[in-house]
């Protein structure tokens, strides 16, 4: 079985500041990890994914995440926040089958 | 390229009425299909998934059912809606393997009054 925990249901950062969204996972097998973004009243869009290749994964819109096995973490970062980054972000994990287990999400607010 | 459609986009239904939400995928064959519900502040809950025509797995016992009458069509139904069925319903597809991401549709906002 696998699970993810997203610390902080709401995160606020100033425009231009570092964005850090936390995700810790639990998995009995080597995990595949994903970050998705959801804008209001829309479906989810994949930001990036880790599939056991490079531990530092770069995604769209300037986001990246680092897989740290020793910390069971897959935190999402962006060096400089933009107003358009305001959205809800979901971390997800999958194991041997095709099902994803999602975290409860983090709502990111950008302060002008 | 692949696309996924959901309709309707929004729906307001009275308690006790039936429900039918439809999802179709274009541009791929034999996808895995998923129905999720997103309630306010509760993340995504997997309701059903399907690996082929007529093959439905239910994740959570509830008032809903799913069917897959065609390879790229996935339908979510209810005979009698409850207030607790309100939420944002998302359909998604993937192509096998756990490392492959799921692609999501635009969603249906269901309000049960």
> B28-85, pLDDT tens digit by residue?
989 999 999 998 767 899 999 999 999 999 988 788 999 999 999 999 999 999 999 9
Split at pLDDT 50, 70, 90, the class of B98 is: low
**Interface residue A52 vs chain B (CB under 8 A):** yes
Which residues, numbered 81 to 100 in chain B, qualify as contacts with chain A under a Cβ-Cβ cut-off of 8 Å? 88, 90, 92, 94, 96-100
What gap in Å lies between CA A8 and CA A6, rounded to an integer?
Answer: 6
Cβ-contact B7, B109 below 8 angstroms: no
Chains A & B: contacts with CB separation below 8 Å: 55
Residue A41 per-residue DSSP state: T
Q: What is the pLDDT of residues A30-84, one digit of tens each?
A: 889 999 999 988 999 999 999 887 899 999 999 999 999 999 999 999 999 999 9
Q: What is the pLDDT of residues B19-31, one digit of tens each?
A: 999 999 999 989 9
What gap in Å lies between CA B21 and CA B13, rounded to an integer?
Answer: 12
pLDDT at A28 over 90: no
State the residue for tokens 């696998």: A2
B71 Cβ partners below 8 Å, 6+ apart? B29, B30, B31, B52, B53
Query: pLDDT at position B97, please?
Result: 66
**Interface residue A44 vs chain B (CB under 8 A):** yes
What gap in Å lies between CA B107 and CA B113, rounded to an integer?
Answer: 19
Query: pLDDT at position B59, please?
Result: 87
Helix (H, G, I), strand (E, B) or coil at B112: strand
What gap in Å lies between CA A103 and CA A106, rounded to an integer?
Answer: 9
């Amino acid at each position: 079985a696998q699970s993810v925990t997203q610390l902080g249901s709401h995160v606020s950062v100033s425009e231009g500041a570092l964005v850090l969204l936390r995700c810790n996972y639990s998995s009995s097998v080597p995990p595949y990890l994903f970050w998705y973004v959801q804008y209001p009243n829309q479906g989810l869009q994949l930001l990036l994914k880790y599939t056991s290749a490079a531990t530092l994964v770069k995604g769209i819109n300037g986001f990246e995440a680092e897989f740290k096995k020793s910390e069971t973490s897959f935190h999402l970062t962006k060096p400089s926040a933009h107003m358009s980054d305001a959205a809800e972000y979901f971390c997800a994990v999958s194991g041997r089958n095709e099902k994803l287990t999602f975290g409860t999400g983090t709502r990111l607010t950008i302060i002008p | 390229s692949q696309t996924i459609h959901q309709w309707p986009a929004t729906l307001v239904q009275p308690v006790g009425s039936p429900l039918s939400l439809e999802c179709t995928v274009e541009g791929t064959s034999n996808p895995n299909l998923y129905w999720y519900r997103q309630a306010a502040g509760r993340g995504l809950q997997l309701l059903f998934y399907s690996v082929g025509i007529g093959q439905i797995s239910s994740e959570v016992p509830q008032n809903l059912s799913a069917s897959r009458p065609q390879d790229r069509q996935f339908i979510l139904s209810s005979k009698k809606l409850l207030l607790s069925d309100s939420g944002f319903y998302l359909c998604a597809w993937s192509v096998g393997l756990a490392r492959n991401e799921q692609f999501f549709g635009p969603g249906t906002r269901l309000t049960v009054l």
